[in-house]
Amino acid sequence: MVSNWKSNADSPEMDGVQYHIQCRQGDVAPYVLLPGDPGRTDLIAAAWDERRFVASNREHRTFTGVTGGAPISVTSTGMGGPSTSIAVEELLRIGATTFIRLGTCGVIQEDIKCGDLIVNTAAVRHDGASTMYVEPLYPAAADYEVTLALIEACERLNCRYHVGVTCSTGSFHCGQGRPGFRGYSQSFFENIVEDMRRARVLNFEMEAATLFTMGGLYGFRSGCVCVAVANRITNEMFSAPLEPAVEVCNLAVKILFERDAKTRAAGKERWSPLIG
């Protein structure tokens, strides 16, 4: 991080550089992938046709490049809603308009296998951060254009995938129904896995609800695809490869880039199948 900062505390930046992500206007593309783990940014950027390292500070590591002719960036959010909201707030200020969360998750439906991809359409808001933006009754929904692009990418790449609602939690352990240290438990979370399963929720992760809620409030496009690395019903967990989800996200960005060009040429604000 740049030392000797002096800034307005209400909007912390110095010479256009955002305080946490250490990026400025021109550093990021309109289309941004959001993994949680900073270490995954290198893997993601390595799959592009062109790439350049931009910045790394705290949990936020950024690359920008080109994939399939489409401009693309990746910025890691760190784990959970609070750090995700910081990254998104600052990325919006320097020109990002479309975000895809790319991560891992635990699934709570028996038929979903570890290694399957989950495209999330909406989120149960147990993340904590989104309630700092709007009341809990406000929905956390993904953008339809991004979701359709992710589904099309899964189909083109012949991936095994599922589409549905996630539950974003503010805690990996107790928040997802796991016992805490020394078996700590509370009645309000002991049944969360079964309650969410009955509600046809597909998976647990920690960031989508924050991203989707902010997208609805601010008017940007958001989506989410995760690799299942655990099944809480069958009690299996292993390190599934992230590469299939990376391929899906890269192709989805290419699809969105091409559709956005057609939408502008048609004089429309949003894409529909009639545009082609």
Task: For residue 5, give the 3-state DSSP assignment.
Answer: coil
**Is 40 one of the catalytic residues?**
no
Query: For this structure, is 173 an active site residue?
Result: no
Q: Which is catalytic among the residues 178, 197, 247, 258?
A: 178
Distance from C-alpha of 270 to C-alpha of 121, rounded to nearest angstrom: 18
60: annotated active-site residue: no
Catalytic residue among 40, 221, 232, 259: 232
Asked whether the beta carbons of 192 and 221 are under 8 A apart, the reply is: no
Place of tokens 């950024």: 62
Half-sphere exposure of residue 231: CA atoms within 13 angstroms, side-chain side: 14
CA separation (Å) from 215 to 26, 36, 241? 21, 18, 28
- Report the length, in residues, of the chain: 276
Out of 59, 90, 205, 207, pick the active-site residue. Answer: 90
Asked whether the beta carbons of 41 and 62 are under 8 A apart, the reply is yes
- Dihedrals φ, ψ of 14, to 5°? -135, 120
Q: What are the φ and ψ backbone dihedral angles of 41, each rounded to 5 degrees?
A: -65, -35
Instruction: In whole angstroms, give the CA distance from residue 155 to residue 149.
Output: 10
Burial class (CB within 10 angstroms; exposed 0-12, middle 13-18, buried 19+) of 14:
middle
Active site residue 182: no
- Which is it for strands 221-231 and 203-205: parallel, antiparallel or unpaired? unpaired
Catalytic residues: 20, 90, 178, 232
